Amino acid sequence: MSAGAASAALAEDGAAADGGLPRLLPPPGHGGNLASHLSSHGPVPYRGSARALIPEVRAAGLTGRGGAAFAVHRKLETVAAARPGRAVVVGNGAEGELASHKDQALLHLAPHLVLDGLQLAAEAVGAGRVALYVRHDVRARARLDAQLSERYARGLDRAAVELVSAPARFLAGEESALANLVSAGTAVPRFTPPRVFDRGVDGRPTLVQNVETLAHLALIARYGPGWFRGLGTPDEPGTMLCTLHRADGSVNVAEAIIGTPLAGLVDSPGASAVLIGGYHGAWVPADQLPWLTLSNASLRPVGAFTGAGVLAALPADRCGLVESARVARYLALESAGQCGPCLNGLPSIAAAMGQLAGLTNGGGRGGGRRPDPRVLENLSRWAGLVEGRGACHHPDGTVRFLRSALQVFAAEARLHLQGRCTATSGRPFLPIPAGPATDADWSSP
């Protein structure tokens, strides 16, 4: 999906200042240039001292939009406790999740909100080093370079910002992998603790925030916590960007109010199931959508969570097991290969899943030879063996995704055990790279 395909909002009108949608993405036709940004939002509202913004962020209830929904004020407080000038702030725009496009869209359509948020976060924690970590793309990087130079020349930025390119790996945006790479290493996760807010880039306390989180922060600094809480739910206030994959194959990025009914958001008649939260997320049967909203409180009971806002409606003519097996194979190849259970366990799980789906038994899409009747039992046992056994959450996220697939597509799995499949199309739906990455791809491009 090109950034140009991003839709500004699900509501028709309203600007950030009046509390309606869109808040983050500018209305169609407004470019991401500095002049239009300044005319909409004015200059960066610096507070003039470290920590001053933190109580406002706490009152707003802002949580991270990179997947884990962690309270932003808690990380700000921890990192701000460092000696002045020692802390590091990194905006995370790696977007390693292949099914997500919202960070690239935001950086394309509203880069100055992200850059404002980066400056305000740096001021709040008294940072001595500031970086923006973005998925590698020559044109996008050149654009950001020019935007940073323009801001610096106009005296908008108090802290110089380094641009760091993220390798195109699923794990590149995991915060310890990010800290390793920005410290001039490779984007490989490390065991925690310590968490990066205690010891991150070059061993310094590091605030890592998703780029969308930074854009919300920039708006809270301007319009206040009450304005921010004007949309969303009391426990999950605000809006979030979602990448919507509709069953007809169209993909777009939309800004949605947290708590919005999912049925209206996904809008995909004929879908059999919806993948929520991306490749570490969970499948939910499409017939449950009328009871669910875009919020963790609503999704948690069905084993799902909003994550970074990926919602993918599986067309009824595709097989959910085949799609899941392809993603499992990709996720196994994306293991950073440091932890035994992950390195050995994920390929075994992916192979078993491939066999169940019919990808590896010669027939394709469940046709051909029947899978080993013990395949479900093996999958369940092996999943238990890798869970919680990695330096990072990659094995846990992969297992969550596969368990939900086996549950939601249980009837299909029984057919596959008999060598049958209900799918009428083998065309891949969820995005997967054409070929495996190489070891060199763990470094900055």
Ligand X SMILES: Cc1cc2nc3c(=O)[nH]c(=O)nc-3n(C[C@H](O)[C@H](O)[C@H](O)COP(=O)(O)O)c2cc1C
Residues of this chain that interact with ligand X (CB under 6 A) are: 64-68, 70, 92, 94-97, 171, 173-175, 208-210, 213, 392-394
Binding mask 305-344 for ligand SF4 (x = CB under 6 A): ------------------------------xxxxx--xx-
- CB-based contacts of 111: which residues, under 8 Å, 6+ apart? 32, 143, 144, 147
- Cα–Cα nearest to 341, from 381, 281, 304, 375: 381
Residue 70 site contact among ligand X, ligand SF4, none (CB < 5 to 8 Å, cut-off depends on kind): ligand X
Alpha-carbon distance 77 to 197, whole Å?
A: 10
Binding mask 147-186 for ligand SF4 (x = CB under 6 A): ------------------------x---------------
Side-chain half-sphere exposure of 415, counting CA atoms within 13 A? 16
Site size toward ligand SF4 (CB under 6 A) is 14
Residue 94 interacts with ligand SF4 (CB under 6 A)? no
Q: Which residues of 129-146 are buried (b: 16+ CB within 10 A; e: fewer)?
A: bbbbbbbbbeebbeebee
Q: What is the distance between the alpha carbons of residues 89 and 213, in angstroms, rounded to a whole number?
A: 13
Determine the residue type at 227: W
Query: For ligand SF4, which is the closer residue by CB, 54 or 98?
Result: 98
Cβ closest to ligand SF4, residue 209 vs residue 335: 335
- Using rule CB under 6 A, residue 67 touches ligand SF4: no
According to DSSP, residue 174 is labeled S
**Which of the choices ligand X, ligand SF4, none does residue 343 contact, using the CB cut-off of 5 to 8 A by kind?**
ligand SF4
Sign of CA dihedral 84, 86, 87, 90: positive
Residues 279-308 that bind ligand SF4 (CB under 6 A): none
Closest to ligand X by CB, 245 vs 318, is: 245
Q: How far is the CB of 337 from ligand SF4 (least distance, A)?
A: 5
Amino acid identity of residue 41, one-letter, is: H
Sheet with strand 129-135: strands edge to edge: 161-166, 129-135, 88-93, 206-210
Residue 306 contacts which entry, ligand SF4, ligand X, none (Cβ below 5-8 A, type-dependent) = none
Identity of the residue, 65 or 245, whose beta carbon is nearer to ligand X in the bound complex: 65
- 3-class DSSP state for residue 156? coil
When computed from its CA atoms, the radius of gyration of the chain, rounded to whole angstroms, is 22
> In terms of CB distance, is 159 or 343 closer to ligand SF4?
343
Three-state DSSP state, 313 = strand
Cα 173 to Cα 367: distance, rounded to the nearest angstrom: 38
CB of 190 to ligand X, least distance (A): 12
Residue 92's binding partner out of ligand SF4, ligand X, none, with CB under 5 to 8 Å set by partner kind: ligand X
Closest CA to 117 of 76, 78, 146: 76
Whose tokens are 């390798």? That residue is 167
Distance in Å, CB of 309 to ligand SF4, minimum: 23
* C-beta of 86 vs 190, nearer to ligand X: 190
Closer to ligand X at the Cβ: 175 or 412? 175
Q: Contact residues for ligand SF4 (CB under 6 A)?
A: 171, 189, 335-339, 342-343, 390-392, 394-395
